[in-house]
Structure 1
Amino acid sequence: MLPPVILGSRTYLGPAYDLALLKIDQVYPRVTVNQIFLTGKKYRDCMDLAADSVDWSAAVLKNLSLDSSSRRCRATVFVLPGCMEMWEIYPLATQLDLLIISSVAGHTPVIGKKAPTWISTSCNSLTAYSHLYIRLTEKFLWQTLVIITDLGANIFFSEFSRTLYGDFIRRNSGYQIYQENFNTRTGAPDYAQILNRINALSRVYLYFGDPVEFRRMLVKAWELDMVKGEHVYVVMTPFRFTNRPGAGYLTWENRDKDDNMARAAYRSVLIIEPDNSVYGSTTSDVQEKYYADVLNRSQVDYNYTYKPFEPVTPHVAGTYNSLTILAQVMEDLRISDKEEVWQSGKELARQFMNRSFLTDLGETYIDPSGQRDPTINVNHLDWNSSAIRTLFVQRAGSMTLDVVAEPQWPSRWPPPDVPGCGFRGCLPQGRLATINGSVLMSLLVVITVTTIYLRRARLRDLMNAFSWEIPDDHLQQPEIKNQHEEVLLYIAEHRLVYLSALGAMPLISDNRGHQTSTRLVLNRSMFRLLKNVMAIHYPNINRLIGVTATPTFCYLVSEYCTRGSLPELLSRMTLDVDFQASLILDALKGLQAVHRSALQCHGHLSARCCLIDSHFTLKLGAVGFHQLRYSYSRDMLKNGTLIQGKKDKPTAQAKNDVTVIARIALEIIFQDESFETITNLVSVEKSLTQRKSFPIGRLAALLPIFSSCWSDDPTRRPDIHRLVNRVTTVLRSYAKGSSLTQRIIRRLEAYTDELDHQVAMRTHDLLEERKRCDYLLWAMLPSEVVDELRKGNTPEAAYYTSTTIMFVEIAGFGTLLYQTEPEEAMVFLNEVFMKFDELLDQYDVYKVETIKESYLVSSGVPRRNEERHANEICCLVVSMMAAYSTMFALCFNATTTLRAGIHSGAVAAGVVGRKAPRYCLFGDTINTASRMMSSGEDGRVHISKSCADLLRKYSRLHTEERGTIHVKGKGMLQTYWLRTTANAK
């Protein structure tokens, strides 16, 4: 389930679905709707959901019967609320001939030609808005226009500005169209420079971008005296994000120092926005009830409360209309019993086109192309109340511009298309005779200079508008590592990208002679080459996003393919025949697109360049990188400008591309990288003969085709277009008995098997790693404590009334440090304590810690063992004495020996600390055991009376009375010696 901030989320649109289904049950009881919601909490935005939408849809369709017999009086329909998932699913719906109805707009050529089963109920129809702009300019005789686009704003604005520009050009009715683009994401635009430039071109400006930036531009226009009635600013707002009285989505009021200037500037603005009917609010009692139901259900059923003045957006109304008009069509078909219509998504789509539907939210008209034609208003700011007032209306289905009111304009209305004195202004009378006398003499010079200047200025404007540079602060290196050679993996704007090295940044000298790095500057030739590379948009091409420059190096930034390169895929899984055929066709079509582009060749093709995305689509990477690196390396730095080097012709390289793509195809067929070493036709035929028994099935018919690509005469090798046609013909002849759905299902099943294998391997690795972690934890803490910490609990401290504590010290270790090297002394200490650790497993004891050369051991804590703890500790120390005398007594000239002290009593124990937690013991018993050791003798075990009493009851070990001695901090105590093999008497 997407967050409420996403307009296509179920949280936001759930009330619309519920109300529509309830309405269908009441009005059309014979129409049964069985819905399957495809949602997920893991998706942060529409891009994430779109990545999996095709796989989800294919999995759902796998469980549905799509044959013609089962589709009688039944239809399978995709209902999409909008976002990028619609663009991912419509090719699948078109191939399966299924109806797709969405509340998001689409371009008319895409809907009408590429997606004939697509119907849109969105109020943001590009066709309807384009008609309004054309009718508006025709009504007021405006033909010299400037289209201003903020490329950093919502993608809808960029898409619409391109569509509108194309519609104006196709009309060929005397329009003079200029384009002015800037990108607010890459930096704050210089509005003064932009306004001065467009002021010399036109007086009518069509703005598409962020409303906040539009207000800033108008304030600057007020400072330049460009809002006195001679200029017209036409701005479009597809949504209204507030219902506050007197404030639309575009408003002059910001409660700052610029409010008065903005209010005056807005008098020269025409606002184009959809009519209130698209929001489904307050135009009738039924719509008021719908509006109230949406607000109530959002809060009660979906835990989403609308803020004050927050409107119910057209997405909600469009989703409601999608289901209600779908039910009307299904009811009509049920009554007419047209069986052939139910079996075709195209025929179902035609039932919606060029038709008006009456719903609770008003009239919804779907035009002949399958898009909704909404009612759109041209509004203006009222001078007195500063409220929005409607001037002109383009009603649904009419495409005419009706006049509602006349605008309050600062000067005469409408402003002329071209001012009386032209765009440069009038000249004083005194200078007119002088200019007339000199104009004939300088006419040829002016024409020549102007032509050169305009060509250079146009190229300069294109270079400034072309978004190719990515600031290096937009990239951050992630924690994961990538295995590709010479490729770094980075995160750019919350997505992964590839960074490929272009070359080192050039250095220049400043005024003091210091070497400094310079910002990357492209000359014309380098710019054209980069523009040609970035202009290649094809499903089987890994797109170049841009260029980023660090202080020391320059990188090419391209899209990230989640499944790595082709060799990595071949090493991970075994491909079936359908999958192999799909990858081969993807590689061929990708190279065909490269050869058809301005590059005409790839230049550095290899299997490593074949990348696999999340949909298992093969994409050719590094397209144009070889040419860019060659040009960059041949450039010389001169005053901050790069001078282009000489280029090689791509004709011969294109033939080499064909040979390489044939080698890649054979690697896919045989899943063997040894074809990388094959260089001639003889080697190919020999290699294929050795693999005659390899099971490749129907792909065997492709081997003669690819063998011809190794001809010694390059002219006899087939070009990529002929190669694609021959391979497609062979594969099509074998695919007649297999439907698209079956191939998708087989690919999903193969992918599922591979995922199961990967999960099993990762689970095994995880268990092994967990065992190692458990071993380390159990060596550091008691097992009971480890279990509590793993559950997230804090182990409770405990009090033990009867325990035995022992300190063992290597006497003479301090002297040893002065007589030997520190490394040798530490090796000796480590070997002694490791031997002691081995002895612990034989007794019911717990090693607490080591302190310098001392070794602290307990018994009876943390595991209670009644009163056997004294015996366990004493048996352990006897073993320690025997092991030390056997293994280490002769080391270092016998300068060290063991000394031990033991005491039995009560202690408290618990875990201390969160970072590197330790199991610590507390109480006077610890201090007494330490005093027993310090007051003892080297080579002997000194024990207290409490410990000796327990040994008499529960042990066969013998003690020897030492007598009453003075112990520091304890006074006079009765103590004993423990008899061991080393000191028994």
Structure 2
Amino acid sequence: MGVRGLVEGGDNMEIIYQYDKKSGHLVAINGTRWPLNGSAPLNRPACGFRGENPKCHQRGLTPESSITTIAASTTAVALIAAVIFIGMCFIRRHQQSRSVNWLIPANQVQRYFPSFGTYETTGSSHSLHSRHTKTGTLAYRNVYVYGSQLVWCRSGQLNHGTTHLSGKLIKRINMRSALKHNNIVDLVGVALEKDKIMIFSQYCPKGSLYEIIEEKPSWLSWDLKTAMLADIINGLAFIHSSDLKFHGALKSPNCMVTNQLVVKLTDFGWPKEMTIIGQTVLNKQNYSRLLWTAPEILRNSGAYPTREADIYALGIIMHEVVFTVRPFGIFTDGMDTEVIQMVHNQSASPYRPFVKTSDPVIPIDLIFAMQHCWAEDPLERPKIAKVKLRLMRVLRFKDNYMDRVMRKLKHYAEDLERQAMERTQELRVEKCRNEQLLKTILPATIADALIRGFSVEAEIFDSATVAFVLICDFAEIILQSSPWEYVTFLNEVFTFFDDLIGEYDAYKVETISGTYMLVSGVPVRNGTLHAEYIGLLCSRAMLCSEKRIFASHQLKLQIGLHSGSLAAGLVGLRMKRYCLFGDTVNMASRMAETSSPQHIQASESSRNLLKDSSKLFCLLRGDVPVKGKGIVTTFWII
């Protein structure tokens, strides 16, 4: 018989002691050593297995005394641990309450009175008073000043008369303060005043969605309605995905509207240990608070808010926004109690808002989504993610109303810019046309001066040549043709003359009946070349006219020209004309009158300017009687 055990450095059980029958003792094999004192334990304990050895009694080591000693020691250790734990919790809560960045001293916040522009410190006895609105929403009309910003004040009262924030409430406020989203109201801070709590949040100047629907329904275009629904759904989706899990008080009075017409959700995240002032007792003034409450919450006053209850409230808000009505279409204040009672009652056909499906503007899928949200069974109500996905598909919203407005304004600006560019181009073209037209009516230099805004003064020209072109037998031509025919004839003849003028330095002064008047050397001086230009132009006109026949009459021209000094300038305000004045004009007219058909008659002054010309030849005609001038020597230009 032996005792097996592990040997140092080994993994197997081996016999380390052998029992000696003669001596009645265990004999160690291979120098086995016992732990502690190096010897094997006694076969029988010193005090016996039950402490029956009298020697042990004399030393006070009874079993009862040992148990008592152990129990007393354990209790003392537990009490010490409990005291240490409670102290650490108290210190931690104290440090936590002192280190929160949202805690605001009450004396740093002042009441704002916009009508007087004055402030009032919140430390006064009536600083927590608030004014009711039609929906019973309190304190949102209380505007305060904190630092340099305006904030909304929401007043509450701590339960059980406590004067400090519990760890649970601090944790809740920390969670609420950490939530940042474009569609939820930012928490600015919290102030304490005895057993009351003041919650300061972001200021939304446009008020609540409920107030806009009731007081300013004309604001709500369809685009704005869909944008507001998108904001509410986005804000609620963010809250449901946060640590808060649910809103708990979703209603249109808690949907605040900013100056940019963005809807932000508020009044959520507060535990039951904090009671919002005015919400504990239901009466006729605040009974309307329950119009957005889910039926399962109405039937169980101790029920805790849920996400499903938020979805029910969302359906009621959707009905308000889409149809621009109060909750359930209520039109008098006395209907609130009756409506809430009907919603509270369980029946096969639950009471819900009336839905008009005949409006072609409202998508039918939106109505179905609305009705799905306020289903009687909470389990049948959709999740907020499903509502968001469905309405995105129906309403096709991707951004808020101001983004849509800015996008439309951008498109409008781009379209306006494009139209402006087109109109500018059209204006340039039209301006060019007008300038060209003006240059056909007036000399180019005179027209340019007028276009630039300069005034044109009358001038004296020392040397210029004036010519008159007469159509022979013009009176007979008129008698033998219709007005349309002879006007067409004149247009063809004078257009031909205009084309010739474009090739020479000459200007068409005017046309009178069958007479065409032109000049060279005015308004642009060209030395003595004006006589040659007029002579060449008239010679070409004479040659081309021989090939034209109209009303059985061959076109014949009778031309006269004269050179001399004259005055020229603009005449009139309307239909301005550049007119020539002086004896030179009269003499040129007499030269045309005394000329012969298909001949060009020139005065002696014109002949003197042409005598050195290599392109024209002047032949003496002789003395010709001229009205007002007597006998005048004239020449033929050939």
Give the TM-score, by structure 1 length.
Answer: 0.29
Instruction: Normalising by structure 2, report the TM-score.
Output: 0.43
Pick the structure with more helix per residue: 1
